[in-house]
A and B are shown apart, each in its own frame.
Chain A
Amino acid sequence: MDNAIYVGLSRQMLLQRELDIAANNLANVDTVGFKFEEMLSSADEVPSTKPGGANPPLTFVTANGVMRDYTQGSLTQTGAPLDVAIDGKGFFKISTAAGTRYTRDGRFKLDPTGKIVTQDGDAVQGDSGDITLDPKKGAVTISSSGEISQSGAIVGKLSAVTFDSLSALSKDGSNLYRNDSNLTEQPATSAVLKQGMLEGSNVQPITQITRLIEINRAYDAVSTMMSSTASLSSNTIQRLGAVNAS
């Protein structure tokens, strides 16, 4: 009978993690290129222990993974020449000290040597490695397919890459993703690069607030179920254990 409490507990633990995820989504409602996440749960069935299966089998709930929604965020104009947004599928490739990373956050700048880097100073990778600009050559134009030109001459090409399955990526913080799988990157042919723009977060605040209410109420309901189970067993003990005076 105590099993009901444990089933409830498995749900409550999962609800807490769901709240953590909703909290992270809401905290990042304004983060460049952020993609919102949701917890996936699954039923974890435990076969009946009694021979013949007299009791119905127990079903706990467990976390099954985190689903990430890669739908496009809205584009906002910043006017900065080294801000690039990706419209469509694809990621920029970044070379960091910890290895290759991918990002949708196109807030780039120049380092003292003229290399295009992220805000953290990691080199943005073009079709042929690092991209170096000559600061003296003036204005930079980036075409929708990523060609970077300065005073009329092409000086490099930003590459947008993608994967067959985006679940190959895990988040690394600072708007970066890493590839933990053995899938290899492919050129993102449908990606359209937009200079002077940034992609906003794709979090829908109203959905997340609704999730908060849902989580809160579900937690409440499970809690009520657990306390009624507990009072049921305490009543049983009192009634059955009472000494009959007659």
Chain B
Amino acid sequence: MQALRTAATGMAAQQLNVEVISNNIANMNTVGFKKQSAVFEDLLYQTQQEAGAQSSDQGNIVPTGVQIGVGVKAGSVYRITGQGTLTDTGNTLDLAINGPGYFEVLLPTGETAYTRAGNFSTNAQGQIVTQDGYMVQPTITIPQNSTNLTISQEGQVQVTTPGNTTPTVVGQLQVATFLNDAGLDATGSNLFMESAASGQATVANPGTAGYGVIMQGYTEASNVDPVSEITNLIVAQRAYEMNSKVVTTADQMLSTAVNTKS
């Protein structure tokens, strides 16, 4: 019975849906996390009676045909890149981007990754790095013994060095935007890589038209909305259940068929 296999594809799809939702809920408190959502497509169709086929010698044609679908498949798992709320941490190297844009990070492999998680630190050389020790691009070195590290909304990094009363500019942070940032490849550890779907990165100073501004002393919380995730979970579970009812119905019908001859 096709219905059994069709229902199985439906159950598998809802299982994937639950996996995506559970990842969202697990990352509810991850800095800079963007929630995902699974999208589905219908599978192939079996044509049992062709639309447009002749039904009589007089030239009458079948107007609609009989096409029976065989289920569903996962189309894509989307990332929804809406802004997360900004949380005040008071830490001088916690940076959040308010608006579109990503920080550029240099990976040990030499590739550039992008992130919204701006909870940075400095390494032994005084360079600004991520929590994994990857350098934030362009490289900015904070001189030793300097005080009053301030980062403006436009990304200008200023410090006061010993013996000076006026602050000195030690660097300029830049942010990258993408045409379709939902198409970025997630590689874990809050990092994203450029992909064919995202388009190329365009880099500019924060605060330029179309780019977000830097907020020092804040981190961006994940944009997961617990209530809508729980609602999605309910929908997924019920959809799973409904597909299991199809299995039960098909099973009962098969049993009826078997028991017709007593």
Residues in A lying within 8 Å of B, measured CB to CB: 12, 15-17, 19-24, 26-32, 34, 37, 39-40, 63-68, 78-82, 105, 107, 109-112, 114, 119, 133, 135-136, 138-140, 167, 170-175, 180-181, 198, 205, 208-209, 212-213, 215-216, 219-220, 223, 226-227, 230
Q: Which residues of B contact A (CB under 8 A)?
A: 1-4, 6-7, 9-10, 13-14, 17, 37, 39-45, 47-52, 62-72, 75-76, 78, 80-82, 177-180, 182-183, 196-200, 202, 210, 235-236, 238-239, 242-243, 245-246, 249-250, 252-253, 256-257, 259-262
Q: Does A107 lie within 8 Å of B75, measured CB to CB?
A: yes
- Summarize B's interface: helix, strand, loop or mixed: mixed
Interface of A is mostly: mixed
Determine how close the nearest CB of chain B comes to the CB of A14; give it in whole angstroms: 10
Is A27's CB under 8 angstroms from B7's CB?
yes
Instruction: Tell me the complex Cα distance, A209–B43, Å.
Output: 21
- For the complex, give the distance between the alpha carbons of A67 and B68 in Å: 11
> Quick one: which of B1, B41, B43, B50 has the most chain A CB within 10 A?
B41
27 contacts between A and B (CB under 8 A): A16-B1, A17-B48, A20-B2, A26-B243, A27-B71, A30-B40, A30-B72, A40-B64, A66-B68, A67-B64, A79-B80, A79-B82, A80-B180, A81-B182, A110-B199, A111-B196, A112-B196, A171-B42, A171-B67, A174-B75, A181-B52, A212-B249, A215-B253, A220-B256, A223-B256, A227-B262, A230-B261
Asked if B250 and A17 sit within 8 Å, CB to CB, the answer is: no
Is the beta-carbon distance between B41 and A174 smaller than 8 angstroms? yes
In the complex with contacts A19-B250, A27-B71, A136-B39 CB distance below 8 A: no
Q: A26-B10, A171-B67, A223-B260 are in contact. Are A19 and B199 (CB under 8 A)?
A: no
For the complex formed, measure the closest distance between the CB of B208 and the CB atoms of chain A, giving whole angstroms. Answer: 10
Beyond contacts A16-B253, A34-B42, A65-B62: 7 other A-B pairs, Cβ-Cβ < 8 A, are: A27-B71, A28-B40, A31-B42, A81-B179, A119-B41, A119-B76, A136-B202
Q: Are A140 and B51 in contact (CB under 8 A)?
A: no
**Chain A positions within 8 Å of B76 at CB level:** 107, 119
Closest CB pairs A-B (n = 5): A27-B10, A65-B64, A135-B199, A24-B69, A23-B6
